[in-house]
């Protein structure tokens, strides 16, 4: 049976004692030795599927959604105007 480090992972990392669990036999875990184990959760890491590249129009729509969400956070007082990354990007001239 495998288990992860969970909430203590950050503590162990900062103390310099954090390492991935040692590889065990496949009969114990029920998985092959080539499977990677996530040391935080103790689960087998599933390979991520490749996502298709976004078109410029899709990128622009996502940027507009983010702008609206950060604007709402700013208006409700959840973040200060200085903390708004969209506002910072516009001020630096990174966004058109």
Same domain, 23 and 42: yes
Distance CA 13, CA 82 (A): 31
Domain around 80? 56-92
Same domain, 44 and 85: no
Task: Read off the DSSP letter of residue 24.
Answer: -
Task: With residue 26 as reference, give the H or E element that holds it.
Answer: helix 26-29
pLDDT at 53: 93
Closest CA to 35 of 27, 46, 25: 46
pLDDT at 27: 44
Same domain, 87 and 71: yes
Which position has the higher pLDDT, 39 or 46? 46
Same domain, 34 and 72: no
Query: How many domains is the chain partitioned into structurally?
Result: 2
Same domain, 66 and 44: no
Same domain, 28 and 9: yes
pLDDT band at 3; cut points 50, 70, 90:
low
Same domain, 42 and 2: yes
pLDDT band at 57; cut points 50, 70, 90:
very high
């Amino acid at each position: 049976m495998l288990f992860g480090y969970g909430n203590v992972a950050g503590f162990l990392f900062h103390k310099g004692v954090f390492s991935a669990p040692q590889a065990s036999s496949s009969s114990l875990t029920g998985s092959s030795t080539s499977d990677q184990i996530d040391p935080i959760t103790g689960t087998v890491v599933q390979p991520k599927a490749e996502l298709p590249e976004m078109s410029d129009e899709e990128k622009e729509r996502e940027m507009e959604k983010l702008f609206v969400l950060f604007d709402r956070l700013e208006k409700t007082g959840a973040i200060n105007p200085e903390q708004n990354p969209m506002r910072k990007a516009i001020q630096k001239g990174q966004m058109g």
